[in-house]
Amino acid sequence: MAYQLYRNTTLGNSLQESLDELIQSQQITPQLALQVLLQFDKAINSALAQRVRNRVNFRGSLNTYRFCDNVWTFVLNDVEFREVTELIKVDKVKIVACDGKRFF
């Protein structure tokens, strides 16, 4: 099973909303929507693993950290994300990271 964490991204949320709309209008069943989401999980996991090749560095101050159910959650403040091409600054960022295969 692929990680479901990508569902809460722009791409994943827009898919979920679209599926919800179709469910509301009864064009698809919730079960079908779930199948689509599972397929999405697979597709995004594999795409990220294979089609993305860039690196980012970041630095900031750690506000909170949590490790529960094999999931890390961090909140950082005043963070700078540095990529080769650009620099992005944010005041606050939440990182959710999945640890190992025993995510579920």
Question: Measured at the alpha carbon of residue 97, what is the angle toward residues 95 and 101, in degrees to the nearest 5?
Answer: 175
Backbone dihedral region for residue 45 (phi beyond 0: left; psi -120 to 50: alpha; all else: beta): alpha
Residue 95 within binding range of other proteins, rule CB under 8 A: yes
Q: Tell me the one-letter amino acid at 85.
A: T
Q: Quick check: 1 binds other proteins (CB under 8 A)?
A: no
Output the six-digit token pair for 67.
């490790």
Collapsed DSSP state (helix, strand, coil) of residue 76: strand
- By CB under 8 A, is residue 24 in contact with other proteins? no
Q: Does 83 bind other proteins (CB under 8 A)?
A: yes
Nearer to other proteins, 68 or 85 (CB): 85
Give the binding site for other proteins (CB under 8 A): 3, 5-6, 8-11, 13-15, 17-19, 21-22, 27-29, 32, 35-36, 39-40, 42-45, 47-49, 51-63, 65, 72, 74, 76, 79, 81, 83-86, 88, 90-102
